[in-house]
Structure 1
Amino acid sequence: MDSIKITGIRSYGYTGYLPEEQVLGQWFEVDLTLWLDLAVAAGSDNLEDTFDYREAIFLVKEIIKTSKFALVEKLVEVIADKILSLNKVTQVRVQLSKPGAPIPDFSGKITLDITRKVQ
């Protein structure tokens, strides 16, 4: 199956278990892999025959900016569900990272990685 990979979507949001995460916010980073058939678009060279990935980028940024969940598990699931509701995408992989997780003496990042299919 063909795919489109989009990396480095960054947005500021207010999801997190700690109260200060929902008030002060933090940066999130998202990478997407979208599975869809690219054969028709490859033959026609017409945007209408493929998936306009700008739509996915806008959607991810908007969900992060406007959502306020306690768990990033909920945020990543909502992103996957919304992407799958878009036309042509049959499967999506969402990798969502918190590069500045509020954990003492930890400078790494936390990443959730889920893959969902159209049911």
Structure 2
Amino acid sequence: MSTDRITLKGLRARGRHGVLPAERELGQEFVVDATLFLDLAPAAAADDLTLTVHYGELAQALVKVVEGEPVELIETLAQRLADVCLADDRVHAAEISVHKPAAPIPLPFDDVIVTIRRSRQ
């Protein structure tokens, strides 16, 4: 597996994910960090965008998932985001962090983050 990586950090989108009815009704902002592990040598050698992951297109695909069908758990959302990343055969593994800074916790806190790492079997 290659140690090269592309990281998209701090991608923001509004979603309706959560267990509580208010979370589903009102929605809230989610922040996504995605790191893709792949061999970047071919793209670098050829200076060719078609030989790597287009991070602009990746960002759009990830936002579509966050804005799409609601789920109760951000763990499930993270898995769906990882599936999008691994849909590109060049990606060996993906690490996804989903931040829920407005989680319904009645105490002072900065952020709730779920991080998963998935790789090709």
Range of TM-score over shorter length? over 0.9
1:97 matched to 2:99? The reply is yes
Q: Could you list the runs of 5+ residues in structure 2 that have no partner in the other structure?
A: none
With structure 2 as the length reference, what TM-score do the two structures score?
Answer: 0.94
Measured against aligned partners, the alpha-carbon deviations of 1:77-108 in whole angstroms (never above 9, x if no partner) come to 11111210124111000011001111112232
Q: Could you list the runs of 5+ residues in structure 1 that have no partner in the other structure?
A: none
Q: SS of the residue aligned with 1:83?
A: helix
What is the distance in 1 between the residues matched to 2:30 and 2:110? 13
Q: SS of the residue aligned with 2:104?
A: coil
Q: SS of the residue aligned with 1:67?
A: coil
What is the distance in 2 between the residues matched to 1:49 and 1:86? 11
Q: Which amino acid aligns with 1:16?
A: G
What is the distance in 2 between the residues matched to 1:84 and 1:46? 21
Q: SS of the residue aligned with 1:82?
A: helix
Name the Cα RMSD after superposition. 1.0
Kept in 2, the 8 Å contact 1:100–1:107? The answer is no
What is the distance in 2 between the residues matched to 1:107 and 1:2? 34
Size of the alignment, in residue pairs? 119
Q: SS of the residue aligned with 2:18?
A: coil
